[in-house]
Amino acid sequence: MRLLLVEDEKKVASHIKRGLGQEGYAVDVINDGGEAVSMAMTYAYDLIILDVMLPGKDGIQVLKELRDNKNDTPVIFLTAKNTTEEKITGLDLGADDYLTKPFEFEELCARIRAILRRHESTKETKLTIAELDLDPVTHEVRRGGHRIDLTPKEYALLEYLLYNKGKVLTRTMIVEHVWDQDFDSFTNVVDVYVNHLRSKIDQPFGEKLLHTVRGFGYVLREQDAADKD
């Protein structure tokens, strides 16, 4: 999943980006409110972490502009002080959650997972298809009880496919949700990673879950849920 982090304190921003990267998220960092609006309107982020006190436009203004422009990307607000007023304003404007600084990194992760789950309207913490499951808390992936070891990017790709199981995803969609803005879109990296992932989640198990839809992209689905390839 791809996240936008809007935070002007460089140290805090790089600390959060590094931590979220280790959790398998692709993260773009912006430290100016005005730029944040245009980034959020340009890329299909799965979630935005938005500091309130920012140069350019403050977080409240950024959120208001996004919602006014019918952008409903989930937003977690970061408020500096324990000011009830800021929280109420943020939630009324359509923020999905807030955290008061300073916060534990683990709590931010838990809130991100809760929102991504809510967005998919499921209370189930594990993401599953057939006998394959991924646990976003422990990062364990298993198929038929067998533990599968994935690299962080393979994991991120599988997580995105699982959140969207049954839907055909184009290479562009995959790139936008799994890689950050430094990604070179002229390479065939998506196909390469799909092949890596297949060799781990499909090949040893017989039944194929990750299908190519010629001319469109890829879909994760059970074989009997649609016509055979």
User: Which residues make up the interface to Ca ion (CB under 5 A)?
Assistant: 8, 51, 53
In the complex, the smallest distance separating the C-beta of residue 8 from Ca ion, rounded to whole angstroms, is 5
In the complex, the smallest distance separating the C-beta of residue 10 from Ca ion, rounded to whole angstroms, is 10
In the complex, the smallest distance separating the C-beta of residue 51 from Ca ion, rounded to whole angstroms, is 4
Distance CA 127, CA 183 (A): 26
**17's tokens:** 């980006």
Q: Tell me the residue nearest to Ca ion as measured from the CB.
A: 53
Q: Is residue 217 within 8 Å of residue 168, measured between CB atoms?
A: yes
| C-beta of 51 vs 176, nearer to Ca ion | 51
| C-beta of 56 vs 94, nearer to Ca ion | 56
Cα–Cα separations (whole angstroms), residue 180 to 65, 193, 194: 23, 15, 17
| C-beta of 8 vs 222, nearer to Ca ion | 8
In the complex, the smallest distance separating the C-beta of residue 227 from Ca ion, rounded to whole angstroms, is 52
In the complex, the smallest distance separating the C-beta of residue 63 from Ca ion, rounded to whole angstroms, is 14
- Residues present in the chain in total: 229
**Spatial CB neighbours of 121, under 8 Å, sequence gap ≥ 6:** none
Output DSSP code: residue 31: -
| C-beta of 6 vs 162, nearer to Ca ion | 6
- The one-letter amino acid code at 196 reads H
| C-beta of 98 vs 155, nearer to Ca ion | 98
| C-beta of 51 vs 65, nearer to Ca ion | 51
In the complex, the smallest distance separating the C-beta of residue 59 from Ca ion, rounded to whole angstroms, is 8
Distance CA 190, CA 114 (A): 27
E strand intervals along 107-215: 127-129, 132-134, 141-143, 146-148, 169-170, 210-213
**157's tokens:** 């790709």
